[in-house]
Each structure stands twice: as C-alpha cells, then as structure tokens.
Amino acid sequence: MTVHADELASLQSLLPSGTNVAYMIGQPFSATEEITNDIISQQNTELLLTPASTQKLLTALTAKIYLTDKYTFNTSLHGNIKQQSISDTEFNFTGDPTFTRDDLRGMLKQLKAKGITRINGDISLNQSRFNGYNWGNGQVWNDQAVCYATQASALVINGNCVLGNLKRSADLEKATIYIPDYEPLSLTSQVDIMTKEQQQAQFCDLEVTRHPDNNYTLFGCITPSKRNLPLSFAISEPTTYFSAVLKAELSHAKIKFTGDIVENQKTVKSAIVLNHKSVPLAAIITEMMKESDNLIADILFKTIGAEYFQQAGNYRNGAKAMLEILADKGISLNSSLIADGSGLSRHNLISAETMFSVLTYTIKHDDALQLLAAMPIAGVDGTLQYRRGLLTKQLTGNIVAKTGSLKGLSNLVGIVKTQKNHRVPFVLMVSGYNPLPNDADQPRKASALTQYSAAFFNMLVTEY
C-alpha cells in the first residue's frame, strides 16, 4: 500500500510554490472490518495549522459525547399571571440557534390562549446563559457584518441574520437595496455602478459599515448585472432587533404593552409561564455539519462550557471543557490551540495527526455517535455538493467529509470509498495557498487547488 506515498507527495507540484500540504491517510478497511490506527501515507502531520471549519468535527463530537443527541435548547417566558394580565415578564434565552420569529409568534399565541391581553410593566430579556464576547478571539473584524459570522449570543432569532438583495442594473447610477418591510433594519446604499475597468482603476469594491441600532451603509462600487446580488446582514445588536420584532408581534397578537424592554444578566428566578423547546441536538448537529453553520457551532461550544462547568458559557470555558471531555476519551488536544467551536478564529491551531485521532475515534464509535451520516457527501449535499474537483463520476457519492475553508487554506477530513469497496480515512490540510492570477490570454481552466484535489482523491479512489 505504501508504494503510492511518493506519488501522493509528488502531486504538490500542482500547487503554487510556497503552499503547505499536510495529510494523513489511514489503512483501508472494509464494511465488515474495524478501522485501525495504521497509517499508509503521511506528510507534515505534526505541523500546527488552521483547521477552519473542520474544527466543527471536534465541536460535534464533544457535543454528542457530553450533551447527547436528545439535548434541547429552551426559550422560556416567565412572569406572574393575574386575571388577564402578566407582570414581571421575562424571556430567558439559552442560545437556541433554531429559534425563529414564527416560534416567537407561537409563544405569544399560547399566551393569548391563556387569556392574557395585557403585559404590565417592563419586559426583561435575560441572556445570563452566556457571558464574554459574542465573537471568538481571532475572528476577522470585517466579517462581522455578514451572516456566516453573526454573533453567537444567548439571544438568537432567525439566525441573527437578515436577507436582502442589491439591484445593480445598467440603467442605474447607484445600486438600490431591498429588504422586507417587516425587518427592523435600516440600510443605505452609496454604491456606484461602473464597469470592471473603472472598478479596477479606482481600486474599488463593495463594502459595508455598521452603525448603532442595526443601521448599515453599503458603499464602494459594483459592476452592472441584470441579476440582483443576494445580500445577508448579520444583526449588529440582537437585543435591539429582538425588541422591535417583539413589539410588532405583541401588536399582531393584540396583547397590550406600554412598558420598556430591558436587558438582564441575572439568573431567572420567577415561574415559567411558557417554554419553547428546540428540535433535539442530533438534528441541529446535522444542520451544522452539512451546511457548516458557524452560529450553531459557536453556540454549541459555549453551551458545552456552560453545562460542563455549571456557569455562564463563553469561549474560554468551552475550550477547556472540550479539552477535558475529549481527553477522557483518549483524544489529546494538548498541542492544539482551541479558540472557538466554528473554526472562524485564526487563533485555532491543530495538526493533521490530532485531527486524524478525532476522525478515527468518530469512525470507531459511529454506531453510537451517528456522526458520519451528518457529514457532507461529495456531489450530493451540504458543502460538498458543488465542490470543484470532486464532482467526477468516480468521486461523486464516494467522499464523506467535513470541509474547512478560509482565505488561503482548504481542508477536508473524512472517508473515501474506493473502487475496491474499501473505506480510507484521511485528513488533508492545504494552507498558504495563494493562486497565481489567471493569464488573460489563456482559456479559463480549473484552479491549481481544484486540479490538486481531483488528482489526490482520484488516486485514493482508484489505488486503494
């Protein structure tokens, strides 16, 4: 089997000079065999590299072990009911990443069904479940306005994200923004529409600035197109946003409220009036893994810290809890740096060797964990559905892996099903990838990374 190790190493010549490649390929095994810890090919396995979203495999594994598949998030309403009114009203948020405006409407409908027509005094929004930063240390600051990097706060509604689009037709001088009228956000466009040549000459691009009270300004420039540009805005102030949504929904439910909406970080002590449960954790983890959902991952990370240490969750105790929980299963993260659960932080560092130990544990215990089924499948679903280089006939459906991509790096961790009906566990981490600009006179061709990925996995599929 090791005869092909040199051939795999030689594929690095497909990548630009200066690219780092680390990989570890395990002994092939059949459906009737158990995975072993044997390695058939490896390179740079001890290098500490940025995992990006392959970090979610660690988060998912830790959550499955400690929280278990049946764990649910609760969003509860507390208060004192007297006749047709409620006082000392308090929403308690625990970071449910699936909670929606429809769920809030359902809770208020239940409240109305109890005969409540009025809320006396203020409404408190309790977020004591988490403390500290809503973003992990080492996240890129200018990602904070877009939804893949939205805040992992205890208060979440509609993924703390608002969708819209930008009209940029050639007949306009300035691009125009659309978001639904019911969204309590303010968006201003100062975006010029110009040709690609003008854009390049002015070193201009589309940018966004965030202001207080969920106000945003888009500025810069964009090339014209008949197609509107989809946009997603991460909610800057979740409490302000929720407050506006809550007032609108109270009005819709015909529940009278004239007080203020205030924040609270103290432990809730009043009686529960209503409780909304999320779907079980198994379904949430599948969504996180398939779509590489960063919000879910960081909320799980903080929740693990909160449950493990029985205190407000944050990125620090989430990291410590993960280290101890996995160490108890024989997986050492002592050489790694764990900053968050999503992999968005550039502070995260992990080796291919450590990641492989996480993978092999996951495979060995999959009957109980059911985690492999939550991972994307090449050419079929999730973040691998349209992954370039993996869409050939012999690769489609035959790679089950967690992706991880940030600027300059591309990682995959998972299993390849070969033509000999073997299963090959692998970790592949490509970093320092800086593609050369395409020669304008040359016909468009696959990127170096696409060519490398295709060659790497085609070799695994055909040779093992």
Which residues are part of the catalytic machinery? 53, 56, 292
| CA-based nearest residue to 59, from 31, 29, 97 | 97
Cβ count within 10 A of residue 51: 31
Task: Give the span between the Cα atoms of 340 and 353, in whole angstroms.
Answer: 20
Over the Cα atoms of the chain, what is R_g?
25
Task: Give the span between the Cα atoms of 9 and 213, in whole angstroms.
Answer: 53
Q: Which residues, 6+ apart, have CB-to-CB distance to 441 below 8 Å?
A: none
| 280, 283, 286, 288: CA torsion to nearest 10 | -70
DSSP H/E element including 125: strand 123-126
In which residue are the tokens 């205890």 written? 154
Task: Give the span between the Cα atoms of 84 and 116, in whole angstroms.
Answer: 4
Task: Give the span between the Cα atoms of 342 and 148, in whole angstroms.
Answer: 10
In which residue are the tokens 């993960």 written? 322
CA angle 383, 388, 392 (to 5 degrees): 105
| CA-based nearest residue to 378, from 460, 261, 258 | 460
In which residue are the tokens 């780092």 written? 20
Task: Give the span between the Cα atoms of 321 and 328, in whole angstroms.
Answer: 11
